[in-house]
Structure 1
Amino acid sequence: MADGTQSLEDRMRGSEVLQELRRMIGVAGAVGPAVAARAGLSSSELEALEHLMAEPLGPVEIAKRLHVTSAASSGIVDRLERRGHVVREPHPDDRRRTRVVVTPSGRAEVVAHLVPMFTGLAEAEEALSAHDREVVAAFLRRATDAITALL
Structure 2
Amino acid sequence: MATTAGIRYSQVLRLMRQFQQAYAAAEDEYRRELGLNDTDLRALNALGVNNQLSPGQLGDRLSISTAGITSVLDRLAEHGYIRREDHPQDRRKKMIMHGENFPGLPQQAAGRLRGIYRAFRELDEQQQHTVLGFLHDACQALEPEHENETHLWSKGT
For residues 90-139 of structure 1, the C-alpha deviation after alignment (integer angstroms, 9 at most, x for no partner) is 11111111121112421xx1433642232111111122233433444455
Q: Residue 50 of structure 1 aligns with which residue?
A: 45
Q: Residue 85 of structure 1 aligns with which residue?
A: 81
1:130 to 1:100, Cα distance in 2 relative to 1, 3 A: closer
1:24 aligns with 2:15: no
Runs (5+) with no aligned partner, structure 1: none
TM-score computed with the length of structure 2 as normaliser: 0.71
Runs (5+) with no aligned partner, structure 2: 149-157
1:34 aligns with 2:29: yes
- Given residue 24 of structure 1, which amino acid in structure 2 is its aligned partner? F
Q: Residue 115 of structure 1 aligns with which residue?
A: 110
For residues 37-58 of structure 1, the C-alpha deviation after alignment (integer angstroms, 9 at most, x for no partner) is 2221111111111222313222
Q: Which has the larger radius of gyration?
A: 1
Q: Distance in 2 between matches of 1:95 and 1:29?
A: 38
Q: Does the 8 Å CA contact 1:32/1:43 hold for their aligned counterparts? A: no
1:18 to 1:60, Cα distance in 2 relative to 1, 3 A: closer
TM-score computed with the length of structure 1 as normaliser: 0.73
1:76 aligns with 2:72: yes
Q: Does the 8 Å CA contact 2:30/2:106 hold for their aligned counterparts? A: no
Q: How many residues align?
A: 143
1:150 to 1:52, Cα distance in 2 relative to 1, 3 A: same
Greater share of helix: 1
1:46 to 1:144, Cα distance in 2 relative to 1, 3 A: closer
1:94 aligns with 2:85: no
Shift of 1:27: 2.5
Bigger mean CA offset, 87-96 vs 125-134: 125-134
- Given residue 72 of structure 1, which amino acid in structure 2 is its aligned partner? G
Question: Greater relative contact order: 1 or 2 (C-alpha under 8 angstroms, separation 6 or more)?
Answer: 1
